[in-house]
Structure formats: structure tokens, C-alpha cells
Structure 1
Amino acid sequence: MVVVTTIRKVNDDLIMRAQKIAAFLNTKYVPRRKEGISKIKERYNADVALVVKSNQLILDLPEGEMFFHPNMAQVRIKRLRYGGNDNMLDAMQVKKGMKILDCTLGFAADAIVSSYGVGENGKIVGLEVNPLISLVVKEGLKTYLPTNYDLKAAMNNIEVINQDYLSFLKAQPDNSFDIVYFDPMFRHALLDSKNLSPLRQLADNRPVSPEAIEQAKRVAKYRVVFKENSRSLEFARLGFEKICGGKYAPIHYGVIDV
């Protein structure tokens, strides 16, 4: 169960916003009344509490808090601004003005970098099947204030849709996106990805199906790109014969040119 509440220092606008979010999620709004989040969760037998702040939404999960932050996206964009490369953009062969479908948005780090790559005339559509993650990221992309214009412009150019990728792909015309991208939760987690542990509680852990890849090949004009652990057998299972990424890199990208 999920409950929606606010921070302790509250006003009428914040209460109204929290109530609207609870109604949107079809769940219960709980007045904070200076009570601790753990107590609220215990009282309502809730696994997750969505805490509404004036400029941020926070998910309180059994393994920790999660909130929107560009994280490594800002580091990767900084590297690109100074003439460096990015393995994901290289695998995608991103060009300015492209339209990219990110089928597994998560907390949007890859989508932000993709958005920077396509520029202001391009477009990123990000699909997130979990309504909580989708809401937190959609709000975060609008309200987070980065330190530079390039990062903010990239964040502004992402459309977030709460839908599973297979049904979305089936509804799209042929060649309607330049690139279709998948970054599913790794079948075998990397040791240095412990900061993603809370996200794993909400993420869609189902493996990507061959049907989804076939639909992606139909929808993509140029290529389908699949991100995974470099040791993963998913590339072979899904028909990705072309693999990009550094020889010793822990992450590789499978590519299908269409």
C-alpha cells in the first residue's frame, strides 16, 4: 500500500497538492500532524510513503528514500561539453534533431544525456510503467534547478509517459522514432549500483521479450539499442549481435541496425 503525506512544515497549498496527488494515484492522503513517516507507514500498514514538498516529491521505501536528481547525467553532460564522448550516445549514433524513445525511463539519467545529444530540435519520449516513479520523475524534471543551462534544457525536452513499453510500441506507426532504447534493470546487478537498491523495489523486473524487440525494430527508423551488464546473456537471447562499449567496461550496448 502507498500513502501520500507532506513534510511537517505545511501550508494549505501543500495540503491541496498532496490531496490531488493522492487522488491521481487512487490512494490515501494522510495529514502529517508532526508524526514521523515510519509511524504513519506502520499505522496504515503501508510499504511506501510519498512525501510532498514544495519543490520535490520523495518516496520513502523500505530500503531508503528516493527522489529525483540528475545524478551521473550532469557529470556525463559536463564531459560532453568539454569535448569528451559518451558510450551510450556513441552506440546510438545520436544526431541533432533526432526523436528517441526511451522504453525504460527509470530516474531518467540516460534520457537526460540523450536529450542533450539530440539538442533543442530533437525530442525524447520516456516510458515508465510504475506510476510512482513516473510521477516523481515527471515532477522532478520540471522543478529541479540545475547549475547550468544545458542540463536544464535537456531536462525540459523529455516527455514522460506512464505506460508499459510493449503496449506503447504496438500502438506506434512504423518508423515513428529514430532510435528505440532499452535500459532494463540488469539481470545481474553490478556491485557498484547499491545506490539503486531502493529503485529495485519499484522497478519492472520482467525481462525484455523478443516480441518487444521486434516491435522496436518496426518502430525505429535507424536502430534499436539495448543496455546491459557486459557479462549478460540477454544480448544473445534477444538477437543483439553487434555489441558496443569499452573492452573492460562493466556496461555494454547491444545494437540492431534497422
Structure 2
Amino acid sequence: MSDRFRDALQAVVTTPWQASAEQEKLAQALAAWFGAPCVARKDRSVQELCAKFAVEVVIVAGEPFKLYHRDADAPLFFHPSMAAQRIARRARGETDRMLRVGGIREGDIVVDATLGMAADAMVLSAAVGQTGRVIGLEQSAYVAQMLRAVQQFGSLTYPEAVQYLAKVDIIQANHSAWLAEQPDDSVDVVYFDPMFRSPNEESAALGPLRLFANRDQLQEEAVAQAKRVARRAVMVKERPSSGVFAKYQLQPDQPRRKIAYGVWRKHHE
């Protein structure tokens, strides 16, 4: 556990109410992984533990392990969301809209600059195959370290999804700063999905992520750096009505739909 994560996290780790020996062991391992104290549950609620130890997050070592934010109604935990179905449909020969619009192919290096819960990154991982690479950038130390923990400890609930997550290089960083450090034309595609377009539009799966993730709007500097770094294309998932596509010279694939993929392609592609 790096000092960077240790400084960023305000958490304790505990077990479920009735803990098994395996869960006790997992709690100790997660405490070491997150650089957080492991505390006895003692029939205390998550809110009581937050107050007792003056932390904002309680990590509960169940299956799957969950992150409870003191201000959230539901916990955050790893799940593939729609990624599993998308990967399965692609294996049957169906076309995935994101992959088609982005022109993603086997062997590509793709940057998912807004990793979140890594659903898109897992689909990208399946598409680029063993010869490709997916780099996932996530600014939240909680989310990045949670996904890395899943890579490290696995998931009995979603073992197949972990196989695709395992191939994602997860980097905890601000995407603008990270992209600014990369050489020109050093990856094939850079992808952005800002996710939090409005509270009324987000899915139930994204609700628990809201308190952990970076909710800033996509910035001009990030897109400019992405255009410099990408060899082929920059892609943004957004509402066509948001004005983002026009602002950044992105061509939406389906401008009449609620959500579209806007693409900028390098002239020499």
C-alpha cells in the first residue's frame, strides 16, 4: 500500500455481522491492502463504526467485499453490470456499439480515461485480446484500490468478470495530468465516459459510486491531450444535447438517441 493511498483513504475494515474464518482472514488482508485499521464488528452498525473511528468509509469483508460511505444509502462493490452480457453477445458474433464506433480491434492499446466501475474497460479488454492493452485511469483512490483488490483477491460472485478486469492496467490518476505526461501518438484510442450527466439519468448501479468518484465535467485540456496522445481516435459517451460533441469537434454516431458516442478521428488514420 503506497503512502499516496494511505494519505487519501479515511477508512476502517471490519467483518459482516456473523463472520466466518475466511471472512476474518479476508478482513485482515483487506486492511493491509487498503492501509486501514482492521476493527472488530461487535454488533455495531456501519454508521456507528464511522462515528466511533471518525472515518468516512467502512470496508466490510464479505463476498463480495463492500465499501460503505457514511453518507450513502447503498454500498459500493465490484460487479460487471452490463459488461458480462456485452462480452457474451460479442462472443456470439454480435456487434458492440462502443467497439464499432471506436474502431477497436485486437492488439489495440486503449485508454479508458474515466474508469469508474470498469464495465467498459472489461468489454475493451475482451476486444483487444491478449496482444492488446487497456489502461484504466481512475482519480478516486477508493475506487482504484477497490478494483485492484478484486484483481488481487478475486471474486467468487463474478469470477469470469475478474478474468477481464485482471487484464486492465489500473492507474490512480487525474486523466488530464496522466495524458499530459504521455508521448504523442502513443496509444490507439482514448475513451471518456463522464458518467454523471444528471442524478435523474444515472443507473441504480452508479448511485453508490457518486460519493466516491470524480464528478467533474470533461475539460478542454483533457480532450486536447487525448487528441495528441491517440494515434487513431478519441471517443466520448455523452448526451447529444449536452453541447460536448460540438465543443470538442466530435461526430456523434446516433445524434437522435438519448446517449451517443462522439468520435474525433486523426486525419492520418
Given the two structures, how large is their TM-score scaled by the length of structure 2?
Answer: 0.84
Instruction: Pick the aligned partner of 2:262 from 232, 248, 254.
Output: 254
Q: Structure 2 stretches of 5 or more lacking a match? A: 1-8
Equivalent position amino acid for 2:231 in 1: K
Report the aligned-residue RMSD. 2.3
One of 19, 26, 40 as aligned partner of 1:14: 26
Q: 2:217 and 2:241 mapped to 1: Cα distance?
A: 16
Distance in 2 (alpha carbons) for counterparts of 1:30 and 1:147: 27
Hey, what does 2:79 align to over in structure 1? 69
Question: Does 2:109 match 1:89?
Answer: no
Gaps of 5+ in 1: none
**Count of matched residue pairs:** 251
2:151 is the counterpart of 1:144: no
**1:57 equivalent in alignment to 2:69:** no
Alignment partner of 1:231: what SS? Answer: helix
User: How big is each residue's C-alpha offset from its partner over 1:87-120, in whole Å with a ceiling of 9 and x where there is no partner?
Assistant: 1111110111001011110000000001111111
4+ long deviations beyond 6 Å: none
1:244 aligns with 2:256: no
Tell me which residue corresponds to 1:42. 51
3-state secondary structure, aligned to 1:126: strand
Kept after mapping to 2: 8 A contact 1:95/1:118: yes
Distance, in Å, in 1 between the alignment partners of 2:38 and 2:81 is 30
TM-score (norm 1): 0.87
Contact 2:14 2:38 in 1 (8 A): no
The one-letter amino acid of 1:128's match is E
**Post-superposition shift, 1:189?**
4.4
The question of whether the paired residues in 2 share the 8 Å contact of 1:7 and 1:52 is answered with yes
Deviations 1:17-64 (A, max 9, x none): 2432342xxx554332342222212323433212234x6431112221
Question: Residue 133 of structure 1: SS of its match in structure 2?
Answer: helix
SS at match of 1:94: coil
Shift of 1:177: 0.7
Deviation at 1:127, TM superposition (A): 0.6
What is the match of residue 12 of structure 2?
4
Judging changes above 3 Å, is the alpha-carbon distance between structure 1 residues 49 and 72 closer, same or farther for their aligned structure 2 residues? same
Q: Distance in 1 between matches of 2:175 and 2:98?
A: 20
Q: Judging by fraction of residues, say which structure has more strand.
A: 1
Q: 1:44 to 1:152 in 2, by over 3 A?
A: closer
Alpha-carbon distance change, 190 to 256 in structure 1, aligned in 2, over 3 angstroms? farther
Deviates more, 1:86-95 or 1:27-36: 27-36
- Say whether residues 1:213 and 2:223 are aligned partners: yes
Cα distance in 2 for partners of 1:211, 1:59 equals: 32
Distance 1:22 1:194 in 2: 26
Please say if 1:195 is aligned against 2:242.
no
User: Equivalent residues in 2 for 1:91-240 (5 A)?
Assistant: 91-142=101-152, 143-145=154-156, 151-189=161-199, 191=201, 193-237=203-247, 239-240=248-249
Kept after mapping to 2: 8 A contact 1:188/1:232: no
